[in-house]
Structure 1
Amino acid sequence: MTLKSESGEWYTPIGTTFVDMCNRYGFIPMLDVAGTPNHNMSPYINFYYDKKSDSLSQDWTIMIKDRNRSSKVRSYYIEQAPPGIWMNCPTANQQEFLYKLREQWLKLGFSAIVILPVNVMSSDGWWDNIENPKDAGEPITYKPLYHRVPFLFMGEKDSSARNAYISVHFKYRPKVS
């Protein structure tokens, strides 16, 4: 049995938190880079990477049906960057996720919504990948969440988070050739 304090399996509630952030930033992400098969975010998010697929060791791309080449007999797929990414990563490897997020954002070109506890703002991952690039003019913004996030534990509603959270928006930028 997993204790709540030891688990990284805290899910984002679909209702207020996720939908509010999609409305705030004007897009719905297609890929959850720290997802789990136990937390289905459809119809919103169609693709996810979980622990098994290890998003930290691969490019954050998705396979989309190529309508120009597909027929009734055979389907063809193309690998591409998703138009939007959602990231609510486990706190145990938050720093790795922040470095990977910026690397993939620069390489592939996409928009991203990230939810992070406020205490991450004192970390190297924050300064190297969010604050310093934002100050240098990269299209990154952030805003504190007004309410405490009522994360779900193992799919069940739990009390609100004890930490304050912020949402970070990596605005769309063309991919680097």
Structure 2
Amino acid sequence: MIKRNLLVMGLAVLLSACGFQLRGTGTNQLTITELDVSARNAYGDTVRELRQVLESSGVKLTANAPYKLILTNEKETQRSASYSGNGGTAEYELTNVLNYEVVGHNNLTLLSNKVEAHKVYLQDASNIAGSGQEAVMIRKEMRRDLIQQMVLRLEQLTPAQLEKLQQVADAKAKAEADAIEAARKAQEETPQQSPLELQNQ
């Protein structure tokens, strides 16, 4: 009985958090202390709420941070999942995909990935307004889910991992720059025939 009560209390605490509390004890589990957060939709709800969560978790958000989190794209889609007997749509599946990048020194991309949220809701043909409100609420829940997933991804990134990713990105950028320089030198050293020589041939 005690275990059951504790479980109910624990679920109540999780639900009351509405997705804005980090999992676990609620203490700051992020090892990233400074971060620059931006998005293609700079004034969107997702980036605004994510910034709030990070700040409340003790992360200093500043443009001078060594690493940047960029929300590159957020896409919402809706498709019919099932149909009612009269042929009208009765069930919808909603999908929300958030693409992001972590950028380090020299504006090099260290990693890029995405998080996804899926929900299914019923549409009552006799209560379109109510179904519409439910869809709006579900969209908000999905956004909170994406934000929580995003924070969990950040929790898994340690300074040591970011440094390794930076080294890999630096090495790749140098290799590409060296290849371009080598190609340029090779082109310069290749004898170029003049138009007159081409005409004589």
TM bucket, shorter chain:
under 0.3
Q: Which has the larger radius of gyration?
A: 2
* Length-normalised TM-score, structure 1: 0.26
Kindly indicate whether structure 1 or structure 2 has the higher relative contact order, using CA contacts under 8 Å at least 6 residues apart.
Answer: 1
TM-score, structure 2 normalization: 0.24
Which structure: greater helix fraction? 2
